[in-house]
Chain A
Amino acid sequence: MSEIISKLEMKKITKKFPGVLACNNIDIYLKSGEILALLGENGAGKTTLMNVLFGLYQPEHGKIFINDKQVIINSPSTAFKYGIGMVHQHFMLVPNLTVVENVALGLIGKRIFKLDLNKVRKRIEEVSKEYGLSVNPNAYIWQLSVGEQQRVELIKVLCLGANLLILDEPTAALTPQETDELIVLLKQMAEKGRSIIFISHKLNEVKAVSNRVCVLRNGSLVYEGKTQKHSVATLAEKMAGREIYMPTLKEKSQANSPILEIKNVFAKGNMGTMALDGLSLTVSKGEIVGIAGVSGNGQKELADVINGISHIERGKILLNSKNIANLAPQQIINKGIGYIPEDRMHEGTIPSFSVKENIIMKDYNKKPLSKKMFLQNSIIEKYSQKLISNFDIKCPDNKTMCASLSGGNVQKVILARELSRKPKMLIAAYPIRGLDLGAAEYVHEQLLEARSENVGILLISEELDELLDICDRIAVIYEGKILEILDRDIATKTKLGLLMAGIKNEKKAI
């Protein structure tokens, strides 16, 4: 076990990436037993700063002190040596190894031959007993749920002797209830003298868990102070640097004529099991229906079958009362369904194609953009310029590769393409994931404007705030079925959270 970290200081940390100053002269400190929240939008520099502390990146300037002694952390193994452990946003587990083997990877260091898994197993059992984190050490990672995998991550860093834990967006894939459990656990750890850095952009969690908060914006530290002194709203303002009004729905939808009807649909997922298990749902014109749920409950398959990317086994999908189930994607596109895919870099756009080529992705084979197989370059040129200025896409020119644009601008390319085709129905999967608040605001404004133009919208998201902001109704998906649909006026986070965990009879419980 390494020495207890009673004080950690990062002084004047600067880290540059091509074209970006990710961390600019940042000072932070942390004492043992303290939970520090690192708050900031995407791209504010939180993860970069922590990767510096964890030894994955070397800063251009700046020093790190542990217990008043300067240390140089140039690799994760050095970080472990000093008792620093990190749980990454994307779990760093090897799926085809067991829990024991995953933990052992961190413990073997430079060893070549000796591999004593029993010793590791014992260590895991000790740690899981101490913190009440139960896990089967012999299970393969791929057999575990997301929540369990996170437990393995925590056990892993604890087994490696971490006194200081860095958690990068740890609640991203958890249900509200799992999140609450995690917060309790973190507080317990802090009481035992460990210190924790909690990276998040979710203000409520930061409020609930942390003693102190550091707010980063555009790579600089803009605020540092006690968490309890501030409300969620003031923290949001500090984070965005201005007052942000995420657009919300004002009046209830009047429209009642259904545009998309999904009736008792069954479809297989990647693993060959029924990912959609008798799902039914209706979206009306001029209405936004949200799909809430823990990821992996059929959201991806739902978006895929509506867009014709995968097939359904049984059931009906009606657009304007006409069955579109199992048509080819192109036919479905032509019938007026727009799609903002979850994977915007690989499904929504072709990264190595230019902005221009991405804008015409759905119309390249239609007049006037092409005539008899030949692309009409001058018309394409004008059309793409128009969309770039209408949707305020920031790019040097229309020949720039999409891969070199920021996430927000890639999403604008997709929005421009989809909305300018005047769809009757729009499927939006996690449209603001990973975007900064400004870009998210823009996306929501566009969705609301489409709604006012009578487009039916299906919004798939994990962020309950997003759903509560702009949906007329919120449907909760659980194990391939819609468990319940709540109107916006009665939907609350608690209700949705219980439903997301598959608990339906909450009325009795409350």
Chain B
Amino acid sequence: MKKKLYSEAIYRLLIIVIAVFSALFVGAILLLIAKTNPLTAYYVMFTEPLSGKFGLTEILVRAAPLMLVGLGIAISFRSGIINIGGEGQILIGAIFGTFIALTFPDLPPYILLPLVFIASFIGGAIWGGIAGWMKAYLSVNEILSTIMLNYIAFQVYMFLIRGPMIDPKEVAYGTGVPQTALLSKNAWLTRIIPASRLHAGIIVAVVLAILVYIFLWKTTIGYKLRAAGAEAKAAKYIGVNVKNYLVLAMLLSGGFAGMAGAIEVCGVHHRALESISAGYGFSGIVVALFGGLHPLGIIPASAVFGLLIVGADMMQRSVTVPASIILAIQGLIILAIVSSQIFFSNIGLKEKIMIKLKLMKSGDKDDT
């Protein structure tokens, strides 16, 4: 039995490694098309961030929002609903949090920060909940609605930071950069390593990841959420109100993305500005899938993609290939991961490969 589990784990690891390598291989071709030597580009991308304090802390700075968005996406996928709206939910969360922080600048941090996070959670939850509600009660395809809500959120967000919530200084100086005023220090997350941008948000994210794990697998509500996602018919019969649980899943999913907005505002920029999200809504999907839709997998996954994103920035500087290539590579990784699922779900294929790799003898049968 133990040996079986061991070879099972090796197989799993092998498939994922192959999937990632094939994505990177196609990525290398794309880099060639972009007139870049893929070997130097990848070398910079994967090693440079690890070679100093700046890179290492930056990885974690990126990992925190990725982890939160990824957790939210894991909750929604586990509940049978595909939330592509992280991007919009981050923005709405950020603006809700910023509003609270700007309105009550004098509250002590231990009150203000929780308030800001709660507000961000609510903002993201509303944005996700709309899509959830429409999915549950109007059968609106959630992928399309969340994408549309992304575009809408962006415009609403821009309208607010360009208009009603713009930094008065920008108006006074006539520069007109779309951003809000700087938050009072009471709303700043503590920097945990001096002379870096690494803030306490990463700790918040890890704690939340553990809570999500307990929530999904150790509580009755989590059981119901997963049941509703895995088999709506059976869940309905045992008394789970599947529609309401869909909405709940999207509220939570949106809420987590919203908190990622708060982390960026309170931890990194200390104000709401145009490029607050930096594509975390989409990268979060990759993180969630890469982490096996499991909170404890998402923790390391978010570090891996934090590395990639920081690496891509460094690559842009030293190899002069635009950092946007990382978006394409992430797209390839998604395609590779979803394609690799067949090697787990098709038991015949899996056996054939495992026998070839000598992870299993041909006589071994599944004891079922």
Contact = CB atoms under 8 A, between A and B. Distances in A.
User: Do chains A and B make direct contact within the complex (CB under 8 angstroms)?
Assistant: yes
A257 to B, nearest CB: 28
B85 to A, nearest CB: 25
A362 B238 contact: yes
B221 A333 contact: no
A373 B222 CA distance: 9
Contacts of A349: 231, 234
A374 B219 CA distance: 4
Interface residues of B, number: 26
A361 B238 contact: yes
A54 interface: no
Contacts of A17: 348
A409 B368 CA distance: 9
- Top 3 nearest A-B pairs (CB, nearest first) are A330-B239, A350-B231, A18-B348
* Interface core residue of B218, B221, B230, B239 (most chain A CB under 10 Å): B239
A307 interface: yes
A277 interface: no
**Chain A interface SS verdict (over half):** loop
Nearest to B365: A19
A405 B367 CA distance: 9
Interface in B197-246: 217-221, 223, 226-227, 230-231, 233-239
Contact of A341 (B217, B218, B237, B366): B237
Interface string B237-275: 111000000000000000000000000000000000000
Interface of A: 17-19, 307, 309, 328-331, 333, 339, 341, 343, 346-353, 357, 361-362, 364-365, 370, 373-375, 377, 394-396, 400, 404-406, 409
B2 to A, nearest CB: 12
* Interface core residue of B227, B351, B365 (most chain A CB under 10 Å): B227
Nearest to A21: B365
B231 A352 contact: yes
Contact of A346 (B219, B220, B233, B348): B233
Contact of A373 (B220, B231, B235, B348): B220
Contacts of B348: 17-18
Contact of B237 (A19, A329, A365, A400): A329
B177 interface: no
A404 B366 CA distance: 9
Nearest to A400: B368
B220 A370 contact: yes
A353 B221 CA distance: 15
Given A19-B365, A373-B220, A375-B218, A333 B239 contact: yes
19 contacts: A18-B347, A18-B351, A19-B351, A329-B237, A347-B233, A347-B234, A349-B234, A350-B227, A350-B231, A351-B231, A352-B230, A357-B223, A361-B234, A373-B220, A374-B218, A375-B218, A377-B218, A396-B1, A405-B368
Contacts of A348: 234
Given A394-B368, A406-B368, A375 B235 contact: no
A331 B241 CA distance: 13
A346 B368 contact: no
A364 B223 contact: yes
Nearest to B368: A404
Nearest to A394: B368
